[in-house]
Structure 1
Amino acid sequence: MAIVRRFEQIDLKANARHTETQGGWSIQGQDGEKFIQINTVGSADRDIPGKVSQTLRLSKEAIEQLAELAKRHL
């Protein structure tokens, strides 16, 4: 699991095709701080479909930064 407090732009050399899967969110606390936690699960073609595969906890600052990025770029 990772806590993300800030995002930085990165330049990817390749734009790999991704498969679709289900994601979910919850509000979690840690050390008196609240986070939005985002989980994704393995897609249907994985060895264990539906098993949590990625988890990110986003701080308030990271969420605000993402909202600003979405307004500017989407």
Structure 2
Amino acid sequence: MAIVRDLIKLEMEKQSAHSEVKATYSVLTTEDGTCLQIDTYGSITRELLGKKSQSIRLTKEALSQLVQIINENKLI
């Protein structure tokens, strides 16, 4: 699992296709404060179907940055 406190912009030179997966989210209170956790689950071709694949926790600081990025880039 990863805890993200800061988002750093990276310009990607090459973009690759990604498969769709299911995702869930939870709001947690931890020693780091309140966090948003996003869990993804393997694609339908995965050997262990439905098994959690990745977890990422965003702190309040990282979430604030994400909101700013969304707003600045008019993503919604």
* TM-score, reference length from structure 2: 0.89
CA distance in 2, matches of 1:47, 1:31: 34
How many pairs align?
74
Q: How does 1:1-74 map to 2 (within 5 A)?
A: 1-31=1-31, 33-73=33-73, 74=75
Percent identity of equivalent pairs: 35
Structure 2 residues without counterparts, runs of 5 or longer: none
Structure 1 residues without counterparts, runs of 5 or longer: none
Cα 1:50–1:63 shift into 2, 3 Å: same
- Aligned-pair RMSD on alpha carbons? 1.2
Is the Cα contact below 8 Å between 2:26 and 2:37 reproduced in 1? yes
* TM-score, reference length from structure 1: 0.91
Residue 14 of structure 1 deviates from its aligned partner by: 1.8
